Structure 1
Amino acid sequence: MTKRKYSIEGIAATILFLGLIFVVLLQVFGRFGLFVAPVWTEEMARWIWVWMAMIAIGEAERQNVQLRMSIVIDAFFPKFRLVLFTLIDLVYLAVTINLLWIGYKTVIRTWHNEAVTLPFSDAVLYASYPVAALFIIWRVSNRIWSQLSTGWQPKIKGGKEA
């Protein structure tokens, strides 16, 4: 299976990042006295940041670029690493599914809470994790399936196993 250069998560995170830059620039220029910055920009910047970070986790999972301490793992045989990384992914999947449920309950609980300066419910902010969790579950499940069907293929960087 070939990996596409761009993904839904990557595009969404990029658009959110560009929106974040715009909102922060509104804040900055408003503080220079060029115009009065809208009151909602600080809260909106925070909300965009949270959504961007959560959605970007799905992109990191798609590209399999999480931080790993591999000094001990590198000493093991590739088959053992396949089993170990698959077990780690299965535990990660279980934790993510549990957090998805908790996030869903949080969205329901905050549905009628109003944001301070934005005309939205706080549930919009808290919905960022359940949405991101769906991407994470999809990407980790694909990775597990790929590892089990093709075997673990180490990434090669600079002639060494990554």
Structure 2
Amino acid sequence: MTTPMRPYSLEGSLSAVLMAVLVLATAIQVIGRSAGGLAPVWTEEFARWIWIWLVFVGAAEVERTRGSLRMELVLNKLPERVGRAVNMAIDLVFCALLVHLIAIGYAMVMRTASYSSVTLPVPTAWLYAAFPIGGILILIRVARRLVGDARAFNAPQADRAETP
């Protein structure tokens, strides 16, 4: 028996906040440009940074809810245990790939720690930190899913009641 998924999560809540900040920064930019080109110069770069963070944090929410697109044409034709095993294998490969990409992202953060942003008073490393942090959040969600799938895979099959 699986536990019901909570409707709210850290990733979902953070994504909502980031989206609100993105809308606000973009609105400041649009209103400023409409008022004769008086938009603060930092709003364009800030909106781009928030967008990137939103993508990576939002991807973790998508993994939590299993909302990504999947091709299940072949998997639906397989027995349930075999399909579950294939999904688990795909998740394991995905985890290995994520670990590698997180390491690359961390190296990029370290490489850009001393560079400053063009218009924002923060190091460029804050922009590049979006992937390692988002990647870790995704990795946690996929690992939790793998643990749950492994438990369900190893659980004894429940007797199915005959339905007329």
Aligned to 2:123: 121
Percent sequence identity over matched residues?
37
Query: 2 CA distance for matches of 1:138 and 1:32?
Result: 44
Query: 1 CA distance for matches of 2:137 and 2:115?
Result: 26
Query: Is 1:108 matched up with 2:120?
Result: no
Aligned to 2:143: 141
**Cα RMSD (Å):** 1.4
Aligned to 1:75: 77
The alignment partner of 1:46 has SS state of helix
The alignment partner of 1:151 has SS state of helix
Query: 2 CA distance for matches of 1:2 and 1:134?
Result: 23
Query: 2 CA distance for matches of 1:113 and 1:31?
Result: 29
Query: Is 1:51 matched up with 2:18?
Result: no
- List alignment gaps of at least 5 residues for structure 1: 153-162
Q: TM-score, normalised by structure 2?
A: 0.89
Aligned to 2:20: 18
Aligned to 1:160: none
Which structure: larger Rg? Answer: 2
Which of 88, 98, 101 is 1:99 aligned to?
A: 101
Aligned to 1:62: 64
Large movers: runs of 4+ above 2 Å: none
Query: Is 1:38 matched up with 2:16?
Result: no
43-52 or 71-80: bigger deviation? 71-80
Give the superposition deviation at 1:74. 1.3
- List alignment gaps of at least 5 residues for structure 2: 155-164
| One-letter amino acid matched to 1:21 | V
Q: TM-score, normalised by structure 1?
A: 0.90
Aligned to 1:159: none
| One-letter amino acid matched to 1:62 | R
Give the superposition deviation at 1:131. 0.6
Q: Deviations over 1:21-51 (max 9, x none)?
A: 0000011111111772100011000000000
Query: 1 CA distance for matches of 2:64 and 2:36?
Result: 43
| One-letter amino acid matched to 1:40 | W
Query: 2 CA distance for matches of 1:66 and 1:129?
Result: 18
